[in-house]
Structure 1
Amino acid sequence: KVIAAEKKPEKNRVIFSCECINQKNEIVIEGQAEVIAPTKKIRRPKTVLPQIALRRSHSLFADYIVRAKKIGALRAAVIQPIHPKIIEAIDIAHAAGLIDPILIGQKERIHHAAHEAKIDINQYELIDVDHTHGAISKSILMAREDEAGIIIRGGATREELLRAMQKHEKGLLMENAMSYAAVLDVPTYAKALIITDTYINAEPILEVKRDITQNAIDFAQALGIEWPKVAILSGADTINYSMRSTVDAAALCKMAERGQIHGGILDGPLTFDNVISIEVAKSKGIVSPVIGDADILVMPNVETGAIVVKQLEYLAESRNAGLVLGARVPVLMSHINDVNLSTVSCALAILNVDYIKRKYHEGNV
């Protein structure tokens, strides 16, 4: 507390008695401050102060990279790496000990991209292919023959790669439908958040949503979440027969009760605000084990998922990695904006491959 103890008008001085008390009501600082009092009122222009936001001092992704390095690198089939940023991204991931790249595409264009990136690619295997379609076919064939443990989209278009991946006899299809899981480090959320599906299944039917959900649960367990909490999102919190996503959400929760989906704690339908904010959910009388603590958000369709991910990236400053789940090998599909996030995606792929191998092939999980 500060108290004006004495005035000295002849010298325009004011003596203030100052005292600081801690939470135990103990005096920790005390003393006097002599201040020169102004003889006339001082006015200064209002200063616009910068906005300050408190953020975590660490990345939630760092642990994934550490764990992946201990497991070991995957052979990566990189499709048409004909842009400098793609070359840079795979070189960083290789230096981190996460991938052994196989560059597949037009040799001259790949070397030109490497020259622009100022990176020596002579250490990497390079398969010269005339066009993108051939590079895609070769990468998928290598994955099918266990010569590659991961595919990186590189310079191919998403649509072209997806068409090839979804071919029944020559693609990457397995028992479950494929889906894409984005993993977000959102500064305003306490833990990593998995959002699915944001790339592949445009308007999934209930059977496909079951696969999307199960893929995400297995993936979350691969990241170390023993019982992931899964929020099935919709535009309403109650079942509305004119809104199919609410009916599907309720059905998915019942499927989990009956063992058709396993390993997670599901609830839905839920709206985005009720999932993220405990206060909002309580104000609406919604009680759920996933509100304010969800690990996975299952979106009603790709369009919604893609919009939510981009909103969080550009409005909430999230950092996003991710990969295709449910395929014969993980596939990195997203456009490379941040080369370091591509490294994170490679780490996620390693963790997922290791988990699936231990769970489904060795039975050790």
Structure 2
Amino acid sequence: MEPFRSLTQMVNSLRVRNYRRRVAVVCPNDPHTEYVIIRALREEIAEFLLVVDVGHQELARHMQCASPDFVHIYEAGSPDEAAALAVQLVRTGVADILMKGLINTDNLLRAVLNKENGLLPPGGILSHVAMAQIPLYHKLLFFSDAAVIPRPTLDQYRAIIHNDVGLCRKLGCVEPRIALLHCSEKVSEKFPHTLSYMQLRDEASQGAFGPVFMDGPMDAKTACDAHSGEIKGLSSPVVGNADILIFPNIESGNVFYKTITLFGDADTAGMLTGTIAPVVVPSRSDSGNSKFFSLVLACLAGTQND
């Protein structure tokens, strides 16, 4: 399988499979979520289980009338109850994917992380992966963590990398090139994450993450621009050709995410990883396109090994 080169190619791949993933949507009460549902129905890539709370059934019924075979409504007494019910639908195999609508992320995550009835396996680590199609970069770019883990520990870095590498492979990138990001190439005790990077590189060289290329610390420009690496005298399969960027903290990852969308005209997608099924938790400020492509990413993440 060749790696996907564009978000449109990902959509087309789902369409030709002729198999709709079942998506449980919590509180689909806002225009962006409605847009995602209607577009996915038009593209014939998903079936929806709309879990609505009291007083918000009208929009769901409108969407059901438009596509009665592929839209099903479940009612709950409150947003928290809707989140719990949607998680249960995923846990029991009625749905394949969980998606956030108009509900506070913290409320949804309480249901996802519930120790008895949630979606995170015992001892698992929840993380977030984003993917971007940037006009001036030659392939899709993955990066973590821009949304969940504030300052990864060594174990959390391992989980993030395992999760991201697994997703890359499902999308056809069998030997991902991973850049461990910092503001320079120097390892220093002043920046403990650079010491973690050295440990991760050693583990990668011993096969801990399967077939990958891993290098760092390096800055984002070096990771994505070969000329910058040449000027610095750096030679690595990762330099100028990264598939995955690993950020040292949530601030830098989130700033990168918001910057490439605002100033770089990037289209993005994102999802939670580490859970037993894909979870789409878009930001309130994400565009309708971003939320749609996030659902596409989750559908492919759950389909590739079928």
Distance in 1 (alpha carbons) for counterparts of 2:218 and 2:209: 18
The correspondence for 1:96, drawn from 30, 39, 43, is 43
Per-residue CA deviation, residues 138-194 of structure 1 (Å, 9 max, x unaligned), is 111111111110011111122222232223322111364222111101011111110
For 2:300, the equivalent position in structure 1 comes to: 351
SS at match of 2:16: helix
What TM-score do you get using the length of structure 1 for normalisation?
A: 0.76
- Aligned pairs (5 A) from 1:156-167: 156-167=103-114
Larger Rg over CA atoms = 1
| Uncovered stretches (5+) of structure 2, i.e. residues with no partner | none
Contact 1:80–1:110 (Cα < 8 Å) also in 2 = no
SS in 1 for 2:51: strand
Residue 119 of structure 2: aligned partner: 172
| RMSD, aligned CA | 2.1
- Conserved? CA contact 2:54–2:78, under 8 Å: no
Residue 274 of structure 1, CA deviation: 1.5
Indicate the SS of the match to 2:56.
Answer: helix
- Equivalent residue letter for 1:239: V
Q: Deviations over 1:114-147 (max 9, x none)?
A: 76x9984655211111211101101111111111
Which residue of the partner structure matches residue 61 of structure 1?
Answer: 7
Instruction: Give the alignment partner of residue 242 of structure 2, picking from 267, 273, 294.
Output: 294
Q: What residue identity is the alignment partner of 2:15?
A: K
Pairing of 1:240-279 with structure 2 (within 5 A): 240-279=188-227
Residue 231 of structure 2 corresponds to which residue in structure 1? 283
Opposite residue 68 of structure 1, the aligned amino acid is L
Aligned to 2:288: 339
- Alpha carbons of 1:325 and 1:118: their partners in 2 closer, same or farther (altered >3 Å)? closer
Letter in 1 for 2:263: L
Percent pairwise identity: 24
Could you tell which deviates more after superposition, 74-83 or 260-269? 260-269
Per-residue deviation at 1:94?
2.0
Tell me the distance in 2 between the aligned counterparts of 1:119 and 1:253: 54
Q: Tell me how far 1:112 sits from its aligned partner.
A: 4.5
C-alpha contact (below 8 Å) 2:129/2:271 kept by paired residues: yes
Residues of 2 paired with 1:139 and 1:339: CA distance? Answer: 22
Hey, what's the Cα distance between the residues in 1 that align with 2:179 and 2:219? 9
Unmatched runs of 5 consecutive residues or more in structure 1: 1-58, 359-365
Aligned to 1:201: 149
Residue matched to 1:313: 261
Larger helix fraction of residues: 2
Instruction: Say how many residue pairs are matched.
Output: 298
